[in-house]
Amino acid sequence: MKPLGKIKTLSPSKTLFWVIFTPPLILSLAAVCFLFFSRISDLEQQLDNKALIISDLLVSTSQVALASNNTPISPQLLQNALSYGDVHNIEIFNSKYRIVAETGAAPYLPSPTLTEQAVSEQKDDAIIRITPIYHIIPTEVDEISGQPDFVNLRTPNHLIGWVKVEISKDKLAIQTYQLISLLALFFAFFNSITAYIAWQASNYLARPSEIITGAINNLVKGQFASAKSLKLSPQFSLLEKGIRDLAERLESHKEELNAGIEQSTEDLRSNLDSLEEKSAQLHIANKEAMESNRLKSQFLANISHEVRTPLNAILGYTKILQKNLVDDQQKIYIDTIEQSTNSLLAIIGDILDFSKIEAGKLSLDHGDVNLRELVDDVYQILSASLLTSEKQIDLVPEFSEDVPQWVTGDAVRIRQILNNLIGNAIKFTHKGSIRTKVTVVKQTSEQLLLSFKVIDTGIGIPENKLNRLFKPFSQVDNSTTRQFGGTGLGLVITKKLVEQMDGNIDVYSDQKNGSTFYFTLNLQPSEKTDQTPEKLNKQFILLEPSHLYRLYLTHYLKSIGVQCTACSTLEQVIAKLGQQDTDIDGLLISITPSDKSANEAHELISYASLQFQIPSILMIQPPGQTTHYPALKAICSSTLLKPISHKHLYHALKTISLPIQIDAATPLLPKQQPNIAEAQTPIESQPAIDSQAQQTESEQQTHGLKVLAVDDTPINLQLMSHWLTPNGIEVTLAYSGQQAINIAKENTFDLILMDIQMPEMDGIETTKQLRTLEAYQDIPIIAVTAHALGIEREKMLLSGINAYLTKPIDENILLNTIVKWCTKKGNYQEQLNSEIANAFDVNKALEIVNHKTDIAKEMFDMLADTLEDEKRLIKHHFEHQDLEKLIHVVHRIHGASKYTGTINMTRHAGYLETHLKELGFEEVEGVLEDFLDAIDQVINARHWIKWPQE
Ligand code: ADP
């Protein structure tokens, strides 16, 4: 590889030189070699021939002498032979191998090998030829001469001697040297000339390229002057020009570049200065930020503490008030205050925990924890606050057998984790169940690794949002339809707590089947031993409509020695009671918080105790509370809140007995929960209206107004109702957008108060739909929102909302807004009177019955009571295009209305009846609508009719 490398680095002229010179060099070498070897071979051949000729000559001349034995060989003969140039030595041997004649110098080969054949031997210094000499005896005699015939010899010859001739190579050597000198001379001469020519040619051809290379090298080095003065032969003039141009351009470019670099360096220097300044400022700002962050955490901790203190006072006094209050309405208010305060406390707790975790200051306690009781407790507390009569979910704990009753850990924090996960599960589940599964993953004497799963059948979490869950302040649903509030910190805190207990948390969820949050906790076994409760050995009938809960209860009852017959319906229980084939110790009855269910349970319990002296235990699903059903409570051995606590159920089962109070006269209907919308009780604690005068004035303005309040939070609705009702406003409550639309279709209102954030259909959508109804195109709709900002506000106004109030609402502002928007339409009472006058003529009604007010009122009421049903019937027949039945209903109303003063309705009934009879369903829509409006008019006017006093 090295020589190649060398060749590679040769200059172009040298390369060219070798390219031109190498072929003649090789050729001349070949020619010289050829000449030399062919000449040497010729000379050697000549010597050989010389040896042959001399040998043959001597053989023929010495033959006779050797044959006759005594005749000596003529020395002259040998001398003659020696006179041939180059003969070094001649020897003649007889048949006895003895030299008989010899001449010349000392032989090179003194004792040769003599054979019957002629031999020629090449030595370094000589050529040696040995030829045998035969004696030829002629057997025939030539007829003419009478001499022996030597031509036609027929007898075998006799070997009589040998001739050895040595030819010296001395001359040949000299000739060789001469030849070499000659050829070398020729070779040198020829190649010198060729090399000279090759050198000249290569120089001529390679020179310009070397100059160009040099010029480009100079360009590269930035020596533009030498490149610009480049001179090439005329045939390269274009190239020369190009290189000069290039040099010029590069030179100017370099100058520009240098100028630019100088400028940039200058800029850089000044930037560096300002950067240094900025970095110093940043450093200071960073320090300040860190300090303010520390202050923020401290502030958060302080403020949380400061807020907790008054909240505790509120809670404390609320508890005292709860004990002393007798008025149900006020009790509800106090309960609401308590609930709200608790939520506030929870939020503050979250924030405090979060700031503690952020500051790494959260530490764990170690104590004995009864896991089963803890889960029961969490279920109890959460179900009481989160379940509603519409949302009835089964809350089922599932502990595997090997989970010990007692473990060592931080009870408060475990409760917090479960509270958050189960709380979320209840919030986001509308029907079905929430199961909490606890199993042992690993247990040693030191360690107890437990796995928890909170499995719900709720709305689930979209896959693309799962990764947000454990990030602070993030909630899956940020839209206005978000159903539940919250800080978005729950799961973050939960995750931190789980990790602090050396566990992991994760979730899988799909929007069909719900979510499962699963986590592990690394706890320690407790020294406290499990206590298996004493077996009760009782027989019970269980009434539990939910399959899952029934299974769960049956399983638990079995574990404490209670044999139970599980029923899902009341009828099954009655049938079992009727059989009476075994001794039943009691009934375990589960009811949902509805009047129907309570009534049925009441009858069943009474029946069982009166007929069979079998006591009952009642289980109520929240939000139903034992206090809501005092009548039921009185006839039960004990009442438990679902999900049942094992401890309470065990106690209730153990101490079951017939209550003393039971008698047949116990009222069958449970005490109704007061309907706040209808409550007319004056509220002493009403804070917003300052003076009596003011109250009277606003009452006058608002009296008789019909307001529809829409909000998904019962607490807010209660508050509205509480503020508006004392001002003479008739408040109707709707708990969802859909419900509001349904109510609005059936009634008329003067104003609607609309919450914006609602599940399923938010306030904006509800308003849009209301505005499509003819009756609601001009009715003021006032939004009540916590989101009165930017786009939100625009969106609201565009949807048809007239104005908005921002939460928290001030009572005075609310009333003023209502007055302002209702009086905008003109005098409300006037409008009302004209509306009533249109629908109903009191004089006409009285005239027909001879001014007997009570008869007129009774007749009117009889008709008015049926109107709602009749309306539905009309719509139904119209939808099913049942002409005959429709005419029949319209005719009935027409007839009845003639005697009740309902002039407008009578008129429209007449129109419709005639139309139907004459034209059938053809273009009846308008006439039918007018008739239905007239019916609505009567229904609405009904409350405002002032009958004369008798
Ligand atoms: P917050 O403290 O405000 O309740 P979390 O961190 O506990 O916040 O929950 C964050 C969000 O995760 C919730 O707002 C909800 O959108 C979603 N989420 C949590 N648990 C569930 C669940 N079981 N089903 C559906 N969504 C859930």
Amino acid at 349: G
Residue of minimum CA distance from atom 22 in ligand 1:
425
E strands along 769-892, which residues?
Answer: 781-785, 803-806
For the ranges 527-536, 558-567, 575-584, 845-854, the one whose mean pLDDT is highest:
558-567
Please state, for a pLDDT cut of 90, what percent of the chain lies above it.
21
Model confidence at 408, in pLDDT bands (50, 70, 90)?
very high
Average pLDDT of span 920-930: 86
What pLDDT score does 686 carry?
A: 31
Average pLDDT of span 532-546: 90
What pLDDT score does 667 carry?
A: 27
Strand bridging mode 781-785 / 751-755: parallel
Beta carbons of 378 and 426 less than 8 angstroms apart = no
What pLDDT score does 450 carry?
A: 96
Pocket test for ligand 1, best of 351, 484, 491, 518 (most atoms within 8 A of CB): 491
What pLDDT score does 694 carry?
A: 46
What pLDDT score does 687 carry?
A: 33
Cβ–ligand 1 distance for 422 under 6 Å, the answer no
Taking the C-alpha atoms of residue 924 and residue 912, their distance in angstroms, rounded to an integer, is 8
Q: Is 520 helix (H, G, I), strand (E, B) or coil?
A: strand
Cβ–ligand 1 distance for 420 under 6 Å, the answer yes
Residue of minimum CA distance from atom 16 in ligand 1:
476
Half-sphere exposure of 443 (CA within 13 A, CB side): 11
pLDDT at residue 772 is higher than 70: yes
**b vs e for 48-75, b when ≥16 Cβ sit within 10 Å of the residue's Cβ?**
eebbbebbebbbebbbebbbeeeeebee
Q: Considering only CA atoms, which of 872, 875, 874, 840 is closest in space to residue 859? A: 840
Token reading at 134? 């035969």
Taking the C-alpha atoms of residue 148 and residue 128, their distance in angstroms, rounded to an integer, is 34
Token reading at 333? 């208010």
* Higher per-residue pLDDT: 637 or 696: 637
What pLDDT score does 594 carry?
A: 81
The length of the chain is: 950
Tell me, in angstroms, the distance from the centre of ligand 1 to residue 297's CA: 25
Token reading at 654? 């153990």
Cβ–ligand 1 distance for 493 under 6 Å, the answer no
Q: Considering only CA atoms, which of 566, 578, 553 is closest in space to residue 653? A: 553
Contacts of 567 (CB under 8 A, 6+ apart): 541, 542, 543, 544, 573, 576
Q: Lowest mean pLDDT: which of 135-144, 419-428, 596-605, 818-827? A: 135-144
Amino acid at 268: L
pLDDT at residue 2 is higher than 90: no
Half-sphere exposure of 258 (CA within 13 A, CB side): 7
What pLDDT score does 25 carry?
A: 92
Torsion on CA atoms 854, 855, 858, 862, rounded to nearest 10: -170
- Cβ count within 10 A of residue 691: 8
Token reading at 348? 């503050």
What pLDDT score does 395 carry?
A: 93
Residue identified by tokens 């009904």 is 942
Which ligand 1 atom sits nearest the alpha carbon of residue 350?
Answer: 2
Average pLDDT of span 182-192: 93
Which ligand 1 atom sits nearest the alpha carbon of residue 477?
Answer: 16
Taking the C-alpha atoms of residue 203 and residue 546, their distance in angstroms, rounded to an integer, is 111
Residue of minimum CA distance from atom 19 in ligand 1:
424
* Higher per-residue pLDDT: 578 or 853: 853
Average pLDDT of span 688-711: 65
Cβ–ligand 1 distance for 426 under 6 Å, the answer no
Pocket test for ligand 1, best of 476, 482, 518 (most atoms within 8 A of CB): 476
What pLDDT score does 522 carry?
A: 94
Mean pLDDT of the chain, nearest integer? 81
Cβ–ligand 1 distance for 490 under 6 Å, the answer yes
Model confidence at 743, in pLDDT bands (50, 70, 90)?
very high
Token reading at 181? 């000198």
Beta carbons of 214 and 240 less than 8 angstroms apart = no
pLDDT at residue 790 is higher than 90: no
Residue of minimum CA distance from atom 4 in ligand 1:
486
Cβ–ligand 1 distance for 487 under 6 Å, the answer yes
Check the CA dihedral 788-793-797-798 and report its sign: negative
Model confidence at 98, in pLDDT bands (50, 70, 90)?
confident
Which ligand 1 atom sits nearest the alpha carbon of residue 486?
Answer: 3
Q: What is this structure's pTM? A: 0.45
Average pLDDT of span 198-213: 84
What pLDDT score does 369 carry?
A: 92
Element of type H or E holding 179: helix 170-221
Taking the C-alpha atoms of residue 359 and residue 27, their distance in angstroms, rounded to an integer, is 95
- Cβ count within 10 A of residue 480: 16
What pLDDT score does 498 carry?
A: 94
pLDDT at residue 88 is higher than 50: yes
- Alpha helical stretches, state H, 10-118: 12-67, 75-83
Average pLDDT of span 918-935: 86
Average pLDDT of span 410-417: 91
Check the CA dihedral 789-795-797-801 and report its sign: negative
pLDDT at residue 516 is higher than 90: yes
Contacts of 670 (CB under 8 A, 6+ apart): 595, 598, 599, 602, 628, 629, 630, 631, 632
Taking the C-alpha atoms of residue 251 and residue 247, their distance in angstroms, rounded to an integer, is 6
Cβ–ligand 1 distance for 425 under 6 Å, the answer yes
Model confidence at 452, in pLDDT bands (50, 70, 90)?
very high
- Cβ count within 10 A of residue 467: 9
Cβ–ligand 1 distance for 905 under 6 Å, the answer no
Tell me, in angstroms, the distance from the centre of ligand 1 to residue 300's CA: 23
